[in-house]
Structure 1
Amino acid sequence: MSKIKLVAIDMDGTLLDDHQQITPENIAAIQKADAAGVQIVLASGRPLAGLKQYLTQLQLWEEDHYTITFNGALVQENATDKTILEHTVPLETFKTFAKLAQTLHLHIHAEDKDRMYTPNRDISKYTVIESALVDLPLHYRTLDEFSPDTHFSKVMMIDEPDLITAAEPKIPATLKEDYYIVKSTPYFLEVMNRQVSKGKALDELAAFLGFKQSEVMAIGDQGNDLSMVQYAGMGVAMANAIDAVKASATIQTASNNDSGVAQAINQYVLS
């Protein structure tokens, strides 16, 4: 077995416990691995701004440290904000899904690395929560107010879980073929460039850093983590992961509330 040189870690339901905190055990294991020269990469649907507090807490807010953001639409160097790779969606995509969202009775917003936008006059509470969670300022803007050359990192259809569940199978097959669409939480259906996934971003970042696939570990719990767990030489599923992630993983670790990240790093990276 190759020595693990890069560990990619999902945030919600993986590194963060149910109180949105990083346990002391997880902090200690990550800092120990980082000190040993292992590249620790947070891989999240959030933008870099929404991860800064955690990266600072983990002492990873430094040059030569990288983060996968927007579920793989962006890979950036921490502290410098230097873009390593980027795959965006154009304004026309936002318009297409805004029309679909209206048909499916869902709210919608779009994000770039600096701001969040919604064309919904009755702004969803989940958009407001997401804006605060990821530290992106929220703007109400009608679709015809955007410049035609506007691009976004991702578009999100958002609403109550029962509405999202009912809407998901009604998305036309042609759109599913043209875009990467993933349910990242029960409240969100995220729409991104077809080239986007955490797995593809992890593959590109590993190549950029000169690491082999066999030298990569990825830890996750939800559908948007599946591609990176499948890609990694060692895919790790949290005890609280969905069945698809568990089925694709090499190993299973403890839950997010029981410092499963630390358990995986201590057992398979540091030992």
Structure 2
Amino acid sequence: MSIKLVAVDIDGTLLTSNKEITPQVFEAIQEAKAQDVKVVITTGRPIAGVTKLLEELNLNQAGDYVITFNGGLVQDAATGQELVKETLTYDDYLDLELLARKLGVHMHAITKDGIYTANRNIGKYTVHEATLVSMPIFYRTPEEMADKEIVKIMFIDEPEILDKAIANIPQDLHDKYTLVKSQPFYLEVVNKTVSKGQAIIHLAQELDIDMTETMAIGDEENDRAMLEVVAHPVVMENGNPELKKIAKTITKSNDDSGVAHAIREWVLN
């Protein structure tokens, strides 16, 4: 099987536990790119949270693409041209902000430019997210959010608090939105039509790449959609056990350059 597009998640996959790219991973990605394989960073992070990684990996050049916001935004990594952008409405924001208050969890909304919270006592996981993705935090009341172009909303809290809240989310919310848990303390909410899988399908069509020529590498539940649509789903050794059930291959852990191993084993051989 010839692989022409490799979608790679960031946290828990591309990066080590110390948030670093190993030399082995860097070299494997450069070799794949030299063979005209499209290596596409595919993440729940906003674009600001991947810019430095794209530069470090030389994946911000002509012909490179990036998928962010769990598929809500697909861009040309060199020019910033948007191929796909799906946002939430102000009514969506109001409904989800009210639900967060009812469930007793912290919540924030993310645009391309910043993280917005209505929690006067800003949650520590909002601060964590802002640091992780290099974005500013803004306190805004719900009434001040009407003009914001929101791509993603996140319920964030201590794992036991978040899990209790998730168990009490009404079914109609699951029907209306895509809800994915990307970390024990993160539940991400995007449009129902948005997923990493749909973004990869769209990009593959744009590039005239058959889905039989695609591979994805991930570790968490927000990677499930892309693992289900590609021909060669790869899950990290450190990945969610439930995801491993749908993997064609289990690669090494993120701390053992698992992305490099997967690329060398099934793309470059």
Moved more, 55-64 or 259-268: 55-64
Equivalent residues in 2 for 1:89-108 (5 A)?
A: 89-108=88-107
Equivalent residues in 2 for 1:78-227 (5 A)?
A: 78-147=77-146, 150-227=148-225
The aligned residue for residue 49 of structure 1 is 48
Q: Is the 8 A contact 1:106 1:159 kept in 2?
A: yes
Does 1:270 find its partner at 2:263?
A: no
String of CA shifts for 1:215-269, please: whole Å, max 9, x gaps.
0000001000011011111000111111221111111100111111000100110
String of CA shifts for 1:81-106, please: whole Å, max 9, x gaps.
11010111111111111111111111
Q: Is the 8 A contact 1:226 1:244 kept in 2?
A: no
Q: Which whole-Å CA distance do the structure 2 matches of 1:145 and 1:224 have between them?
A: 30
Moved more, 25-34 or 90-99: 90-99
Q: Is the 8 A contact 1:5 1:215 kept in 2?
A: yes
CA shift, 1:150, in A, is 3.6
The aligned residue for residue 29 of structure 1 is 28
- Cα-Cα RMSD: 0.9
The aligned residue for residue 244 of structure 1 is 242
Report the secondary structure of 1:89's partner residue. coil
Q: Which whole-Å CA distance do the structure 2 matches of 1:158 and 1:80 have between them?
A: 32
CA shift, 1:159, in A, is 0.6
Q: Is the 8 A contact 1:89 1:151 kept in 2?
A: yes
CA shift, 1:113, in A, is 1.1
AA paired with 2:28?
A: A
The aligned residue for residue 228 of structure 2 is 230
Unaligned 5+ segments in structure 2 are: none
String of CA shifts for 1:29-67, please: whole Å, max 9, x gaps.
001101111000000111111111111111111121001
String of CA shifts for 1:145-175, please: whole Å, max 9, x gaps.
123x543110001111111111111100000
Provide the TM-score with structure 2 as the length reference: 0.98
Q: Which whole-Å CA distance do the structure 2 matches of 1:212 and 1:61 have between them?
A: 23
Report the secondary structure of 2:12's partner residue. coil
AA paired with 1:228?
A: M
String of CA shifts for 1:96-127, please: whole Å, max 9, x gaps.
11111111111110011111110110101110
Moved more, 129-138 or 198-207: 129-138
Q: Which whole-Å CA distance do the structure 2 matches of 1:228 and 1:209 have between them?
A: 17
Unaligned 5+ segments in structure 1 are: none
String of CA shifts for 1:170-224, please: whole Å, max 9, x gaps.
1000000000011110111111000011011111111111100010000001000
Provide the TM-score with structure 1 as the length reference: 0.97
